[in-house]
Structure 1
Amino acid sequence: MNNIVHLSDRTPAVSVGELLAGLHPSYRFGEVSFNTYKPDPAQPSQQEAVDRLTAFAEGIGKRSKGGLFGLFSKKKESKAGIYLDGGFGVGKTHLLASLWHAVEGKKAFGTFVEYTNLVGALGFRQTVDVLKEYALVCIDEFELDDPGDTVLMSRLMRELADAGVKLVATSNTLPGALGEGRFAAQDFQREIQVLADQFDVYRIDGQDYRHRGLPEAPAPMSTEELLPHAQKAFPGQTIAVDKFSDLTAQLAKVHPSRYRQLIEPADVLVLEDVDTITEQSMALRFVVFADRLYDKDVPVVASGKPFDQLFTEEMMSGGYMKKYFRTISRMTALAREGQMGEKAL
């Protein structure tokens, strides 16, 4: 017997304490380590990243008397942290979570959006005061979407680095190119350069592992067969059943910082009549929603348009294209799991 819920009926509340408590790797990366990351022998940069992060982890917590990194006292050219640049699906988040697990003491792990939400909840100064007590701050999916984020994050990173906090970020964009195609980034080069100056940048090469040797995404099912399929494939689990239009309407009402709590009861998502998203603001909200589904490993069973038609052609060639490609990749992986029984890697 399955329990049925509707995400479009949920309006979760999240306290500041819950935001702070949630700064840890998701269920999907709850037990990963450097040993569970399998570098592609054809891509030596992947093993190099493991080696660099392993060495970096060993130095965390070793601060000089002045409060700066021990690394700074040994090598003036050393920077506050590491920035992992690479395409989606090469294992950057796996490596970042492995680093988090390898380090003892106070540490935080969250997406870029979660840190900006934290500042919104606590205020800038209190956020700095809280995070400067941490030995390590991990920032996944680092990207700048607007001028406010640029100024905010450049200040935050600089103050945390000055306090001796070690920083590690992942992104699909090099630090100096953050914000390109999204706003007048050339007007914020000073702030962008401040961000870039906090990191040593390492490139991780490789193809999207979610597509290596795997079949194409399954065709959408008919709406009538969605729930019976989900009940048979996932007996006893809680199934969220929502029309795509109802779900997106609810995403517009709920702040993205609450999407993790929004999907909390769902073990499986049945999504009826998927359609192409035509508004940029909704597309960006769905990116965050898809990330939370993927974090929790929620299989998806869907009807309507296939997920490679989730965004318009204009969106797929615009400034946010990397975000949208990641979302399509993740939703496709979850659909394979929901409809074909393949584990979403």
Structure 2
Amino acid sequence: MIQSSSSGGLALALERHASQRLLLPDQSLDASQRQALEAMAEWLEAALMPHRGWRRRPPAGIYLWGSVGRGKSLLMDALFEVAPVTSKRRVHFHGFLQELQQRSLSYSGQADPLALVARDIAGQAKLLCFDEFHVHDIGDATLLGRLIRYLLEAGVLLVLTSNYAPAALCPNPLHHQRFKPFIRLIEQRLRILELDSPTDYRTVAPRDWGLYCWSDSPGPHPLIDAQFAGALPGVLQLDRFCLASFRQREQGVWFRFSELFERPTSTRDYLELCSRFADLAVSEIPALSGLSLDVQQRFLNFVDIAYDAGARLWLSSEVSLAALCQGAVQQDFSRTCSRLAQLRQVGPEFQPTLG
């Protein structure tokens, strides 16, 4: 908790917290990150101050956007940890969507279930931090837009991070017009901050969260094979599907790409996999450019959910990571590609140790 009541003290606390979590020992916050933290501290100080009639109300939240790897989640984490608010939540896009849908079912048959869900959320969290905010599906866009309106009306403080400027949300021209009222709401009620750091820090300080193996030889890669030594094929019961695993052990499961992504699996399935297994392996991954948009989107969702959940990923393909990514057309793929690039890469020159 922050003892100082000055925004300067809060800004220093935010900068200290963020600096302690930088990935490289000699790394420091850049000018854009420090400027954003100062603005976030100023906003939070004003937002938590008792409102008087003569004072202009501060914005109801922060919308922090910028390219991948610029430190948006780092700054949000700092704000979340330092904010002197006892009731606060930090959520990710996919998990929160599933939560909204499940909680809405509990109010099925009532006039506006989402309004009741928003009321419950507002009663549980004064500060809601929403990481990786993005909307492409018009159903998700409408759901989130209405929820944001309800939460703002209830006085919840919102902090959103995104790779998109507000005006670029829901970019599909078939649906963008319908989402414009919610874009205007974000622009009018939240303070918009752009994080324009020149560096993608994920490439400077990669996170070791798994392995990407590619080989000209068909069949399971020996490094992944070794991770699942002794494991056997199985059938995994998920919410709507039975999936055939190539191999399965207590803390890990291995699927062929076609089984996991060429069937109509969903984010709910990937969230369940990440909750049940620490290690997730996928083999026989083809170049994405030759796949349908639906299959591409499922793979992107899977990678993003595994990354956010802290799972270890073991991927194998007959093409390099650069070739895998080339020609993919999904709009969020820059973020996913940045995350895949943090996997340790092993190419055809790898030779297994014999003996």
Relative to the length of structure 1, the TM-score reads: 0.72
1:284 Cα deviation from its structure 2 partner: 2.1
Tell whether the 8 Å contact from 1:118 to 1:127 is kept in structure 2 after alignment: no
1:88 Cα deviation from its structure 2 partner: 0.7
Distance in 1 (CA, whole Å) between partners of 2:168 and 2:21 is 28
1:44 to 31, 34, 52: 31
1:56 Cα deviation from its structure 2 partner: 4.0
Partner of 1:98: 78
The answer to which structure has the higher helix fraction is: 1
1:37 Cα deviation from its structure 2 partner: 4.3
2:285 to 261, 270, 274: 274
1:44 Cα deviation from its structure 2 partner: 1.1
Distance in 2 (CA, whole Å) between partners of 1:146 and 1:182 is 12
Tell whether the 8 Å contact from 2:213 to 2:221 is kept in structure 1 after alignment: no
Partner of 1:162: 153
Partner of 2:190: 199
Measured against aligned partners, the alpha-carbon deviations of 1:41-94 in whole angstroms (never above 9, x if no partner) come to 694111112223344445565454xxxxx8x97334x31100111111111112
Distance in 1 (CA, whole Å) between partners of 2:168 and 2:56 is 27
Change (3 A) 1:178 1:219: same
Partner of 1:128: 118
Partner of 1:89: 69
Of residues 296-305 and 43-52 in structure 1, the stretch that sits farther from structure 2 once superposed is 296-305
Tell whether the 8 Å contact from 1:226 to 1:303 is kept in structure 2 after alignment: no
1:157 Cα deviation from its structure 2 partner: 1.4
What amino acid does structure 2 have at the position aligned with 1:125? A
- 1:240 equivalent to 2:253? Answer yes
Distance in 2 (CA, whole Å) between partners of 1:117 and 1:264 is 14
Distance in 1 (CA, whole Å) between partners of 2:205 and 2:154 is 45
Measured against aligned partners, the alpha-carbon deviations of 1:158-202 in whole angstroms (never above 9, x if no partner) come to 221122110000111111221224633134422321232221111
Distance in 1 (CA, whole Å) between partners of 2:82 and 2:172 is 36
What amino acid does structure 2 have at the position aligned with 1:294? Y
Partner of 1:115: 96
Change (3 A) 1:213 1:143: closer
Which sections of structure 2, spanning at least 5 residues, go unmatched? Answer: 1-15, 105-113, 230-248, 349-355
Measured against aligned partners, the alpha-carbon deviations of 1:144-166 in whole angstroms (never above 9, x if no partner) come to 21333333322221221122110
Partner of 2:308: 295
- 1:35 equivalent to 2:19? Answer yes
2:337 to 312, 325, 328: 328
1:186-265 pair list within 5 angstroms: 186-206=177-197, 207-212=199-204, 220-221=214-215, 223-230=220-227, 238-249=251-262, 252-253=264-265, 255-265=266-276
What amino acid does structure 2 have at the position aligned with 1:52? A
Distance in 1 (CA, whole Å) between partners of 2:59 and 2:167 is 15
Measured against aligned partners, the alpha-carbon deviations of 1:228-268 in whole angstroms (never above 9, x if no partner) come to 44369xxx993322212222246x23x41342321234333
Change (3 A) 1:63 1:115: farther
Tell whether the 8 Å contact from 1:81 to 1:167 is kept in structure 2 after alignment: yes
Change (3 A) 1:60 1:204: same
| Count of matched residue pairs | 289
Tell whether the 8 Å contact from 2:267 to 2:302 is kept in structure 1 after alignment: yes
1:310 Cα deviation from its structure 2 partner: 4.0
Tell whether the 8 Å contact from 1:308 to 1:328 is kept in structure 2 after alignment: no
1:69-84 pair list within 5 angstroms: 74-76=55-57, 78-84=58-64
Tell whether the 8 Å contact from 2:170 to 2:179 is kept in structure 1 after alignment: no
Change (3 A) 1:309 1:196: farther
Change (3 A) 1:62 1:115: farther
Distance in 1 (CA, whole Å) between partners of 2:294 and 2:313 is 23
Higher relative contact order (CA 8 A, sep 6+): 1
Change (3 A) 1:183 1:91: farther
Partner of 1:4: none
Tell whether the 8 Å contact from 1:145 to 1:183 is kept in structure 2 after alignment: no
Partner of 2:110: none
Which sections of structure 1, spanning at least 5 residues, go unmatched? Answer: 1-31, 65-69, 340-345
Measured against aligned partners, the alpha-carbon deviations of 1:248-300 in whole angstroms (never above 9, x if no partner) come to 246x23x4134232123433333211113412223222222112211233333
Tell whether the 8 Å contact from 1:109 to 1:140 is kept in structure 2 after alignment: yes
Tell whether the 8 Å contact from 2:63 to 2:193 is kept in structure 1 after alignment: yes
Of residues 196-205 and 36-45 in structure 1, the stretch that sits farther from structure 2 once superposed is 36-45
Relative to the length of structure 2, the TM-score reads: 0.70
Name the % identity.
Answer: 24
Distance in 1 (CA, whole Å) between partners of 2:274 and 2:180 is 38
